[in-house]
Amino acid sequence: MLHKKPLQKKKLSKTKALSETKSAIKQRLYNERRKQQNLQKDNKKENRRNYMNNYRKRIRADLTSTPKSDEGIPFSNRMDKARSIKKLKQALPITPNKRAAVLSAYVDCNRILKSPGVKKFHDSFEESVEKMAIRNIQDVITSVKHKRNGEAKAALNILTSSVSGENISDRKRATKSLANILGVNSRTLQKGKKIEPKSCIQNTRHFFTRLGKPDPMP
């Protein structure tokens, strides 16, 4: 019994010495790093789990939501539209010519033309055609208005008189806005309005056709 106390003291001193060695310090640092890494992994998993739960909730809300009646939207959500487009692509022929023929034949149906989606597409196409026509008129006017010869003046008068009709001539604001769009003065449009139809026809003939001398007989 008397020899146990010094043995215990020796053991404690040995454990203290071992705990202060380099290997023990490295092991403690390694364990701390592992704990931090595990905590970070757990936090990432928790964040990912919360994100997926919120995403599923949004999907369910989109699926259960109904469109407003006044907007005329045919699909209840975007996923429904994407699935329908995917099915349509799978059902269409492989070659592009056949696809175009099938789609054009389907869209030309009277029942399809009355649907709000197709009507919106046609309206946007008509707007784009109108913009292209206005752009062409702008290009011609910019190429002609700085020239001083008779043909250029005749072409400018023809364009301005054809664009500015009764619907625009009666409204000063419409005339001004049209002049800004075409890049000319409002006076130029007013000059084009005053031209008579006969003079317009003569100017068009003079501008677009040139009579040449007949070839001499051999």
Task: Single out the residue of 182, 185, 174 nearest to residue 135, CA to CA.
Answer: 182
Distance in angstroms (rounded) separating the CA atoms of residues 214 and 218: 12
The maximal CA–CA distance of the chain, rounded, in angstroms, is 150
Lowest-pLDDT range of 117-121, 144-148, 197-201:
197-201
How many Å apart are CA 169 and CA 160, to the nearest integer? 11
Question: Which tokens sit at 66?
Answer: 């109904």
Residues 16-59: pLDDT tens digits? Answer: 665 667 777 788 888 899 999 999 999 999 999 999 888 888 88
Cβ atoms of 77 and 63 closer than 8 Å: yes
Residue 214: half-sphere exposure toward Cβ, Cα within 13 Å:
3
- Predicted TM-score (pTM) of the model is 0.30
> Each residue of 189-199: pLDDT tens digit?
666 555 545 44
**Is the pLDDT reported for residue 151 higher than 50?**
yes
Nearest to 155 by CA among 147, 164, 144: 144
CB atoms within 10 A of CB 99: 14
**Average pLDDT along the chain:** 70
Residue 106 neighbours by CB under 8 Å, 6+ apart: 112
Residue 72 has a pLDDT of 55
